[in-house]
Structure 1
Amino acid sequence: MPSPGPDAQLYVPRHNVMDADAVRPFVSAVATAQLVTVGADGVPDATYLPVLWEGDRLVGHLARANAHWRRVVDGSPALAVVTGPDTYVSPSWYASKAEHGRVVPTWNYSVVHLRGEVRIHDDAAWVRSLVTRLTERHEGARPQPWAVTDAPDDYVTKNLRPIVGVEVVVASVEAKAKLSQNRSDADRAGVVAGLAAEGRDPAGLVAP
């Protein structure tokens, strides 16, 4: 996994560093990202899009009607932000509240920042291949997976025209999991119980 570059901006305290082996599975599971680029005029653009992280490439597609892709300068820097579950954490859940009361609210979340050079692919074959791989990624585990080839070829071709491909050549990766790792076992157990009492699944929201 690439290391963050010298200009990386994600603040990651030592105890919130996501395990390196968990980063790719996390991005694969979320499977979406906010792509942020800056146009030639210095104005930033952001689009939420489906993504695949393949080798050192993060690939996805944007709607042709979305002006974002036309404003992308090929080879310019881009940031893709992949976010997981997040939640408010009440200090009333902590066991330490009853002990000394020195507790405050916080927010738990996980996020991965991927930075690199961005390229646009306005090429029918490239986009078809991408859509095929995206479909296989999301349909593969279904009992009767749908495939791009299940639809008439002319219909697929027609529906590919309104999208364009985008690729980020990943140069650095920053990953943060803020999951109450700095709290005691008793406090984390309190957060788990508090989330469960509110109907929230604590999985992915509190460190094991």
Structure 2
Amino acid sequence: SSIYGEAAAYPTSEDTVPRPLSPYGITKLAAEHLAHAYGKEFGLHASVVRYFTIFGPRQRPDMAFTRMVTSLADGLPFELYGDGTQSRSFTYVGDAVEATIATMEGGPDGAVYNVGGGVEVTMLQAIEVLGRVAGRRLEIVRTPRAEGDVARTAADTSRIEADLGWKPRISLEDGLEAQWRWAADRVAAA
């Protein structure tokens, strides 16, 4: 989703003109162009999936949800970038894997698919869900929004649903519960 930047419309479709704001988003767009160029040059099948904020157990330690569950498990404050009203289509990792496999097995050459969790949620709402799942309140320390971080992402997944029959199955609450259990088990084992 980083290739879209501050999109012109939400939910954002694959036909939206990419306007990445960060070096990360620019590299994602460049990778898409490279995949399509290699496909044409060498006769390879190339389809693209545009992931919207993947989360779940074993997520990178620098990502927001991992930092949230770790802070909660350790009883430490969570550093929230921005005011918490920024929103995302959070996508559970298992759903992202299923969408990737569906695209690899059935996506037509040159296809581009958005892969998102189906519901747009603010960071404050996600923190509330995590607190409910964990039975604890997360202490928040607010810091300025990160440079290049967009205020909103929301995936229009109608194309992948129509073409490949994929849609997300795991709710934010169920996904955060799995991520919380994973983090809590790691803290208990330490």
So what's the TM-score if we normalise by structure 2?
0.29
Larger radius of gyration: 1
Relative to its length, the structure with more helix (as a share) is: 2
